């Protein structure tokens, strides 16, 4: 048995560290020692605040979640570590796993994805965000020369923008109310605009702000017969839209994108493991380091999670360092 430390959401707004016993791996399993985890600001904040809608309790389960909504849960899915025990071909390798915040754990060997050479361990926690961005772009299907707006310069929005800007001839603009995000956009090689300066006549608008105002702004930015791809998840918050005006005359389309299922455009030829492997390869791009805006010890995780959830700790991806955990 191995002793590990794990983070649990004990009640809305309250997180605690608990000591747990981890069994020895059996045939076909691996023991992973965690190096870094990442906080998914949007989803984990919603979970931490207790805002997961009743109808989404099952669909919102993380792959290795323990506990059930709305009660005490161990939640998270951005984990980078090293295989300590398991098949010889995996031992000692750095891997990404959709596992919660915990210092060591055992999972089936099929649940770990080997991190390719050229991707630092801390950057690899962004695999979940980049995988989501890949799915968003599969849904949006941008073409050469498209005018693309991304509303919301969070982890997902920034990842979408960075991947989209590599398409020849595209014009990518990220719209966000926080003017300090202009620097991040510069590092990612894309343009920034405040909502009051947002461009119009956009072929594709990706909404990733998680706000009602952001979704309305996305509608107003689209060109005739343009498409708004909604990557945000609003939890149990109602969202009101103004669908009068030229919404119908412009023949606008609003569609959702959700990482829990492969985009229909690729469902027949890609598995989730293929999509995650692609995301990890894309993270060889050092520009993604711009999304790593904070780092803390595992000892501080309860306070850090509370600050992220209430908005008092701004930034993009906040990583948790577990390398000295028992």
**Do 204 and 233 fall into the same domain?**
yes
pLDDT of 240 reads: 87
Which letter, b or e, does each residue of 191-214 get, where b requires 16 or more Cβ atoms within 10 Å of its Cβ?
bbbebeebeeebbbbbbbbbbeeb
What domain range is 179 assigned to?
129-256
The reply to whether 326 falls in a domain is: no
**Which residues, other chains included, contact 89 with Cβ-Cβ below 8 Å and sequence gap of 6+?**
none
Report pLDDT for 56.
86
Residues 77 and 159 in one domain: no
In a domain, residue 276? The reply is no
Q: How confident is the model at residue 1 (pLDDT cuts 50, 70, 90)?
A: confident
CA dihedral sign, ordered 91, 95, 101, 105: negative
Average pLDDT over residues 159-178: 97
Mean pLDDT, range 11-39, rounded to an integer: 96
Tokens of 11: 């009640």
Cα distance between residue 273 and residue 113, in whole Å: 8
> Quick check: is 269 in a domain?
no
Torsion angle, alpha carbons of 128, 269, 228, 169, to 10: 90
* pTM of the complete model: 0.91
Q: How many folded domains does the chain comprise?
A: 2
Only one residue has tokens 């931490």, namely 48
Q: What is the CATH number of the domain that holds 291?
A: 3.90.180.10
For residue 250, what is the domain's CATH number? 3.40.50.720
99, 134: one domain: no
Specify if 105 maps to a domain. yes
Tell me what the mean pLDDT of segment 132-140 comes to. Answer: 96
């Amino acid at each position: 048995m191995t002793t590990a430390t794990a983070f649990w959401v004990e009640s809305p707004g309250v997180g605690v560290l608990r000591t747990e016993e981890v069994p020895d791996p059996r045939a076909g399993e691996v023991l992973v020692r965690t190096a870094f985890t990442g906080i998914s600001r949007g989803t984990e904040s919603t979970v931490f605040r207790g805002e997961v809608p009743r109808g989404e309790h099952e669909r919102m389960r993380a792959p290795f979640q323990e506990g059930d909504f709305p009660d005490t849960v161990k939640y998270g899915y951005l984990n980078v570590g090293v295989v300590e025990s398991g098949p010889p071909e995996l031992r000692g390798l750095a891997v990404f796993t959709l596992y919660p915040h915990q210092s060591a754990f055992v999972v089936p060997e099929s649940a770990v994805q080997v991190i390719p050479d050229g991707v630092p361990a801390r950057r690899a926690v962004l695999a979940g965000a980049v995988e989501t961005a890949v799915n968003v772009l599969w849904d949006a299907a941008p073409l050469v020369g498209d005018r693309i707006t991304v509303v919301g310069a969070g982890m997902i929005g920034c990842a979408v923008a960075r991947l989209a800007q590599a398409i020849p001839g595209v014009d990518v603009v990220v719209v966000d109310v926080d003017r300090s995000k202009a620097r991040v956009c510069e590092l990612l090689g894309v343009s920034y605009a405040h909502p009051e300066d947002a461009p119009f006549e956009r072929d594709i608008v990706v909404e990733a702000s998680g706000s009602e105002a952001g979704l309305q702004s996305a509608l107003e930015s689209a060109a005739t017969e343009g498409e708004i791809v909604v990557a945000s998840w609003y939890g149990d918050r109602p969202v009101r839209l103004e669908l009068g005006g030229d919404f119908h005359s412009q023949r606008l389309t609003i569609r959702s994108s959700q990482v829990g299922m492969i985009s229909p455009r690729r469902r027949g030829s890609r598995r989730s493991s293929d999509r995650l492997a692609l995301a990890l390869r894309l993270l060889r791009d050092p520009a993604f380091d711009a999304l790593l805006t904070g780092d803390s010890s595992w000892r501080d995780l309860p306070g850090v999670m509370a600050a992220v959830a209430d908005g008092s700790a701004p930034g993009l991806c906040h990583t948790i360092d577990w390398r000295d955990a028992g």
